[in-house]
Structure 1
Amino acid sequence: MSDIHSLKQQLRQVIRQRKQQYSLEQRQAWSQEIEQALLDHPRLQAARVVMLYYALPDEVDTRQLADTLLKEGKTVILPKCVDKQHIEPRQYTGPDDLAEGIYHLLEPVGKPYDALGSIELIIVPGMSFDSKGHRLGRGRGYYDRFLAQVPQAYKIGVCFDFQRVEQVPVDDNDRVMDEVICNKTL
């Protein structure tokens, strides 16, 4: 096991322990704060095609954001895990468009979204981020592989403040965020 891999695993464990210190209600309140910061963001306001994720219970909740953006007339794209290595972008048309996927995540069931060049903004989850935009994911590399296919998209990482660290261990495959947004209150 490489030193970087070991450091990443250790940091994931630290973040999992930190998450347990906060209630679902606290994380929901912080998620609303982050959602508002995103809605106020000029890049999100200007974007026509936005990709985000449908949150796991321990992530910044983006489910309401997906519906809000849809109501604003934006094209909303969500990832679908198609196998153990790849995510495929799919257009989101509403909560009825979701089904449980391979990791028991709610994922869109529509057709693949092939116009990757039209994706202007991607809101990216992570276990941890640092001030340089380095991101630690869950360890499977889904997002890093996908983000390499959409270099034109502005990437905003989102996390709770306690997920920010001084330095995220990185390797050559890791993609850097253009910006990271987290809650301001603890």
Structure 2
Amino acid sequence: MYAMQYQITLPADYDMDIIRQRVASRGHLLDDFPGLGLKAYGVRERGVDGSPVNQYAPFYLWNTLAGMNAFLWGAGFQGIVNDFGRPVVRHWTGVAFEHGAAYGSLPRTATLRTETLPAWADPAPALAAAHEELRDHAALSTVHSTALAIDPRHWELVRFTLWTAAPPDSTEEGWQVPHLSAPELAALPTGRL
């Protein structure tokens, strides 16, 4: 599993209905994309739910590198480049994925928690502890699914969670999810990878 996200921050006066219409008209194009576990179309609007910015920030969980490459070097990502310029694409190696207590329901929001592992810390026990926490997190009643991934270049650990309602912890970075493409969601391996 590979995790990926790009964040496109838009001007403060940007009409976010343009982004919502983009998602409504184009979101289905990835509903059967090979190699894609899921794409959560993350949108946040300045002043709504405490957001300081307007932003379009999709998050992906890939089953295969071939799928991720086909997207990045193909028409899918080129549409983003054509409309907004080429954003920085953050990516992480998958550590774990868990179905949540509300897995059968449609997610409405997403959160991302980022943590840098201390330089002195042994990453193996830190990842084991993070996975244990992930399993507990997945048991929350409104969690659809949650993933843990790491960037070993910066030793950045991320936890991405899809929620069926507003998340209980508003300190994490969060987005509304107007569409979820999940062609290979069932094929994402669960547990520690």
Q: Normalised by the size of structure 2, how large is the TM-score?
A: 0.26
Bigger relative contact order (CA 8 A; separation at least 6) = 2
Q: Normalised by the size of structure 1, how large is the TM-score?
A: 0.26
Structure in which a larger fraction of residues adopt helix: 1
